[in-house]
Amino acid sequence: MTDAQEPVRALALGDIVPNPNQPRRHFDPTSLAELAASIREHGVLQPLVVRPGSNGNHELVAGERRWRAAKSAGLTEIPVVVLILTDRQAMEVALIENLQRSDLRPLETALGLKQLG
């Protein structure tokens, strides 16, 4: 795996193909619509992780919800980090991104929204 300090760059959404071994199988349409609305308003806040694919494209490793929502929001490019990964490393990154996530508790969400005024 290459250094985690790889630069973020913009990549055309059409140059990214989904990972056929993506561990997430269900993408809730309502949640994707909400994410697309957020992306329209704020942009993509966290870059996707991709790896070089065949035919000059890039295979998505982490961030398929953001990729789908960005397409729905009408974006043509998205921020990415390109890493050189084996199939095993790509699966590890995909799993880690989903398993290491810790959503805010309802009280934390409420306090954050209160601070926004």
97 included as an active-site residue: no
Which of 60, 69, 11, 12 is CA-nearest to residue 40? 69
Q: Name the active-site residue from 64, 92, 97, 108.
A: 64
pLDDT one-digit tens code per residue, 88-115: 999 899 888 877 765 657 776 777 777 7
pTM of the model: 0.81
pLDDT of 116 above 80 = no
Which letter does DSSP use for residue 115 in this model? H
pLDDT tens per residue, range 38-95: 999 999 999 999 999 988 899 999 999 999 999 999 999 999 999 999 999 998 998 8
Which residue's structure tokens are 């009280």?
A: 107
Q: Is the pLDDT of residue 15 over 80?
A: yes
Question: In this predicted structure, what is the pLDDT of residue 75?
Answer: 97
Handedness of CA 3, 25, 20, 70 (dihedral sign): negative
What was the pLDDT predicted at 55?
Answer: 86
What is the length of the chain?
Answer: 117
DSSP states of 58-102: EEEEE-HHHHHHHHHTT-SEEEEEE----HHHHHHHHHHHHHS--
Domains of the chain, start order: 8-116 (3.90.1530.30)
